[in-house]
Structures are given as C-alpha cells and as structure tokens.
Chains A and B, each alone.
Chain A
Amino acid sequence: MNARTLTLPAAWPVATTLGCLAAALAMTVLLALGSGAVALSPGAVLAALTGTGSDDGAALVVRTLRLPRVMLGVIAGAGLGIAGAAMQGLMRNPLADPGLIGVSSGAALAAAAVVVLGGLLPGAGGALSAVLLPAAAFTGAALTTALVYAASRQDGRSSVTRMLLSGIAINALTLSGIGLLMFMGSDAQVRQFTFWTLGSLAAATWPGVAAAAAATAVALHALLRRAGPLDALALGEAQAGHLGVDTARLNRSCVLLIALSVGATTALTGTLGFIGLIAPHLARRLVGPAHAGLLPASALCGAVLVVLADTAARTWVAPAELPIGVLTALIGAPFFMMLLRSRAARELH
C-alpha cells in the first residue's frame, strides 16, 4: 500500500489524534519515571507524584531524581520535533533535520566554545552559564540554519542535494571546531565533549528545564501562527507569494524560531541526532501535512521518542549509561536510509 494513503485526516479528526498522542506521551512519561535502579509500577509513580504514597524513598527518586530528567526529555523532544517540522516545511524538503544538516552541532560547538574559552563547565559557573550557554547555543544554531538555508538555495529555489551537501560541509566544520576545542581544553572539559557530541539528559535541573520549556513554548506558539503561510509555502515560493505570503519575512522568522528551539534544548542536552527527522515523519502519517496539526503532533512524537530513548539509554547497561545519541542514531540512520530509498529519492536531482 502506498504510504501516502495512510494519512487519514478526513475520517479521523486531527484533535482526536493529538489527544491520543498526548495520552501516549503521558504513559511514556509514567513508564520512564518508573524505570531505573528502583523499579516502580505506574501506580506507585502516580502516588509518588501526587504525594499520596507512603514510600518517601520512591517520592524522592521520582520527584527529585527522575522527574527533571524526564521533563527535559519531553521538552528536548518537543523542541527538536517542531524544529524538524518547521525546517522540512521551510525547505519543502522531507530530509531536513536540525541534526543532519549541522544546526545541532553548530549549537553544540558554540556552547562548547563558551565552556572551554570561558573556563566553565556545564552546570558549574551558576548564573553565567545558565544564560551564556543557551545564548551561545541559540547563536550557533541560528548561524548554521541561516548558512545551510542560504547555501541550499539556487535561483530562488531550495534544492535537496545542495542542502545535504552543505550540511555535510557544515558538520565537518563544526566537528573540526569541536576537535580544536578538545585540543585546547582541560581533561575535565574534554570528558564533557561526549555530552556535546552524543547528548545526555543527565544534567537536568529545574531552572534549565523551565528555560527550555519557555523557549520551546514560544517557538511552538509563533510557528503555529505561521501554520497557514507554511502550508502555502508547500506549493512553492512563488505560489505562496501569489497567495499573499511575505516569503522573505517568513523565511527569516522561521530560521530564528528553529534556532530558538534547537538552541534552547541543545544547550541542556547536547546533540540528539535524527529526532527532528523522525518525529515530523511519524506526525505526518498521523495528522497529514497541514502545519496546524503537524507542529503539535511533531512535538508530541519527538517527546515520546526522546523519553523512550533516554529510558533505554539509562537502563539497558545499568549501572552504566549509554550516550542517548548512540541510540537515536542507531534508529535514525536506518530510517534516513529508508527515506532516501523511498519517496525522497524521486526529488534528488
């Protein structure tokens, strides 16, 4: 069966699908909160969350140790999901992903540069790093997004091949930048580079989660207001212009909003590859391509994916912890190959 015929927006209201996805996310969060060295049933997790349980140890584990981390996973997944959806809409290109084309690593490079050059460690340095790291990550993400966007255009049109090739170049550039920083950094700083390149949710703190949540909410809200213009953009840049969309302005604001959501999460989690690619694809199957449904659905799908991946990363080889980026790449890379073979292959000119 053709994959396109699986989209069911006519028969199945988008709001219902979004409700189901939200329920799936809630269950995933319960599962994640109950998993770990101290295994807890969903009932025990709920009791610990609401403070009605008698087990103080469980309450401590769930509320203090696991909840910030799981919430960071939710926010990071949502941020990458909407960034991926917006980027695919903006570039009219199903292969756009903030990780794949170097936006995440641009953010990570900028944040790592602050750490090494500023003599800071993530989590240390207090207020300075709490402001400086996200700001640097945002700037890095914005610069790389703008760079890839500019490089992927030719004669006013966006080309898949140019986007992927310029992504390769930018990834190589950021990797060499990170390599240079490793060379310059202290031993303790170098150990932190796994964090930037393969990601981790281990450093979750409530202030960080709150800041990332605020940035992601702003990005989602602003992108939803642009859902109509993004839909029109699917027809082509000239056609969108004929429908009254100021495409130059739309492009600029989308680049900034993508950078906001990628930068805010990357500063806290390092790079989580492929989430921005997979989440919008799942979401498109469920709610169709219209951005009013696609953006929230991508946020929910991304959140479920990251929380699941993080839960697997911290429980599979316990008490050690796999870098989460290893897992997302393990799922994401074959998924990307599959996309290349199927529909996207027709568009590669």
Chain B
Amino acid sequence: MLSAHHLGVRVGGRRLLDELTLALEPGQLCVLVGPNGAGKTTLLRALSGDLDTADGEVRYGDRPVRDLGALERARLRAVLAQHQRSDLDHLARDVVALGRYPHHLGRPTAADRAIANEAMALTGCSALAHRVCGTLSGGEQARVHLARALAQVWTAPPGGHALLLDEPVAALDIAWQHRTLACAREFARQRGTSVLAIVHDLNLAARYADRMVLLTGGRLREDGPPDQVLRSPALADAFGLRCRVLDDDGSGRPLLVAEAAD
C-alpha cells in the first residue's frame, strides 16, 4: 500500500505540498482533482519517489520510499507521466514490452510477452502493435503508453501495486476518456492495484472514481466518495467558480455545472 505521511515539499521558498497525509487503498481508483498549481503533479512525483521531500515521508507498505532503489520501486509502482516523447522509432509492441523491463531485466519470458499483449488488448491498441510509435496519433500513443504502465504492474505482489497516472485522458477523445478511466477502475478492482489518477474533468472523474481527493494550495481539502466531493462547497471555492449541482435522473449521480465566469 502506498501512503504519504505529513508530506511537505518546498521549492524556492514556495510550499508545493503542506502537511499532506494520504493512503491509497488497494483495489480503488482514486482521482486527484484541483486547480492548476494545486500540487497534484508534485504529489504524484513525491508518491512515485522522484522527488525528495523535505518533511514527512512516502511509504510503500511500511518501507520509506527513500530506502528503496529505482528497481525496487519500479517493481511496485508504475508511473504514466503527463508528456511522452512523440517521435519514438520503436514499434508500439516494443514500447509496451519495456513495461516489463523491471521484472525481466532484459531477458523477457513468454509470460512477459503475454502480459504485454493482454495490456495492449485492455487499452484497445492490439491493432497498433506493429506500427512505429512515432507515426501514431497522440491519442493512440497515449493508449500505448498506458498499456506500458499497466504491463509494468500487471502481477501484484502481496501488499499490492500502485499505478500513478498524470492526466491519462488529456490527449484522448471523449469515448477513450471514458474507456480509459473505466479500464483504470477495472484494473484496480481485478488486480487489487491502488490507482491514482489526476483528472481535470470533474464530472468524468466522478463517474469512475471510487474516491475523490481535492487538493488546493498543496493541502488536502476534501477526501471522500465522488458524490460527496462534487457537492462540497469547497470544490467550487477551490476553482473560484460559481457552480450548481444538478441531479442526473439517468445515473442518479450529481452533475456539476459551472456558471459563466465574470
């Protein structure tokens, strides 16, 4: 289980994270929302172990992340960064296969190849397997890299894997936005993975999240079921927008509608 304890990050005198405590639950899709500059990516980087935190610590299970080597971390969590290199000469298949690298260290087994294939099937990019990655559209590339991240944490050790997704739907059309988050939630449920995703579209996020966390100014403002967070006045407050919450008769879920900005 991946958790942050009293996390504090400062860069150049600015507090990016402040006394932040958060534990990801295995089998859940947790969506991180908040305005630009709230510290979402910083939190994700701290959780992934990329960022040295001045205060507090991140733990994988009961081990502090700074005691783990790059390889140990790679076997426990996958990270999908916001931006990927778009001019890769590699075949899509080979990019996905790289996700298994921390497990086979250069000698892939049949099981590794099978996992890469299954991950591609899950993100709907099996048909792209033999295409050169750099020739794919932005959305197709995003799915290839998502498959790579899924392949990396496909086999769960005791205590579970974590999957950290930084804006996984930013480059996708509306259908793939829905499919991707559905896929992330399914993956969490079936494999007991703790999934954390940064998503900007609040209604989309609420539709698939098991848990929604609102971050503002480096602090955790709201944390709970999506319906509750969506109805919370803190949400509209965080974005500085006047919002109305409608109840969607079809799904029985709340829908957030922003009023025109002044």
Residues of A participating in the B interface, judged by any CB pair closer than 8 Å: 2, 4-5, 7, 9-10, 92, 225, 227-229, 231-232, 234-236, 238-239, 241-246, 284, 288-290, 292, 343, 346-347
Asked whether, in the complex, the Cβ of A235 is within 8 Å of the Cβ of B95, the reply is yes
Q: Who on chain A is nearest to B75 by CB?
A: A244
Question: Which B residues lie at the A interface, using CB under 8 A?
Answer: 48, 50, 69-75, 78-79, 81, 84-85, 87-91, 94-95, 98-99, 101-102, 105-106, 130, 132, 134-135, 152
Q: Are A242 and B79 also in contact (CB < 8 A) when A4-B134, A235-B98 are? A: yes
A171 to chain B, nearest CB (A): 27
Q: Pick from B48, B106, B135: contact of A242, CB below 8 A.
A: B48
A44 CB, min distance to chain B CBs, angstroms = 43
- Contact A289/B90 with A235-B95, A245-B70, A246-B70 known, Cβ cut-off 8 Å: yes
Q: Judge whether B70 and A241 touch: CB under 8 Å.
A: yes
Q: A290 CA to B97 CA in the complex, in Å?
A: 11
CB of B132 within 8 A of CB of A5, answer yes
Are A232 and B98 in contact, CB atoms less than 8 angstroms apart? Answer: yes
Asked if A244 and B134 sit within 8 Å, CB to CB, the answer is no
Are B78 and A242 in contact, with the CB atoms below 8 A?
yes
**Is there an interface contact between B87 and A347, defined as CB atoms closer than 8 Å?**
yes
Q: Are the C-beta atoms of A241 and B50 separated by less than 8 Å? A: yes
A231 to B84, CA, bound (A): 15
Residues of A within 8 A of B84 (CB): 235-236, 239
* 24 A-B residue pairs with CB within 8 Å: A10-B130, A225-B106, A228-B101, A228-B105, A228-B106, A231-B90, A231-B98, A235-B85, A235-B95, A241-B70, A242-B74, A243-B74, A243-B152, A244-B70, A244-B73, A245-B70, A246-B69, A284-B89, A288-B90, A288-B91, A289-B88, A289-B89, A290-B94, A343-B87
Given the interface contacts A4-B132, A227-B106, A236-B84, does A243 sit within 8 Å of B89 by beta carbon? no
CA distance A148 to B193 in the complex (A): 43
- Within the complex, which residue of A7, A227, A347 is in contact with B89, where a contact is CB–CB below 8 Å? A7
Closest Cβ neighbor of B78 among chain A residues = A242
A228 to B71, CA, bound (A): 13
**Shortest beta-carbon distance from A297 to chain B in Å:** 14
Question: A346 to B85, alpha carbons, bound, how many Å?
Answer: 13
B74: chain A residues at CB < 8 Å are: 242-244
Chain B residues with CB under 8 Å of A238's CB are: 50, 81
Asked whether, in the complex, the Cβ of A346 is within 8 Å of the Cβ of B87, the reply is: yes
Top-3 shortest CB links A-B: A244-B74, A228-B106, A244-B102
- Which residues of the partner chain A approach B69 to less than 8 Å between Cβ atoms? 244, 246
| Residues of chain A lying within 8 A (CB to CB) of residue B105 | 228
Closest to A284 in B: B89
B101-A9 in contact (CB<8A): no
With the chains together, A113 CA to B106 CA distance in Å? 42
Instruction: Tell me, in angstroms, the Cα distance from A198 to B240 when the chains sit together.
Output: 67
> Which residue of A is nearest B129, CB measured?
A10
What is the CA–CA distance of A225 and B105 in the complex, to the nearest angstrom?
A: 10
Chain A residues near B87 (CB-CB < 8 A): 343, 346-347
Closest to B45 in A: A238
Q: Which residues of B contact A9 (CB under 8 A)?
A: 91
Min distance, Cβ B21 to any Cβ of chain A, angstroms:
24
Instruction: Tell me the bound Cα distance from A244 to B50 in angstroms.
Output: 11
Task: Kindly list 7 other residue pairs between chains A and B, CB separation below 8 angstroms, not including A4-B134, A244-B73, A288-B89.
Answer: A228-B101, A239-B81, A239-B84, A244-B69, A244-B74, A284-B89, A292-B106
Which residues of A lie under 8 Å from residue B75 when comparing CB positions?
Answer: 244
> Residue on B with the closest CB to A224?
B106
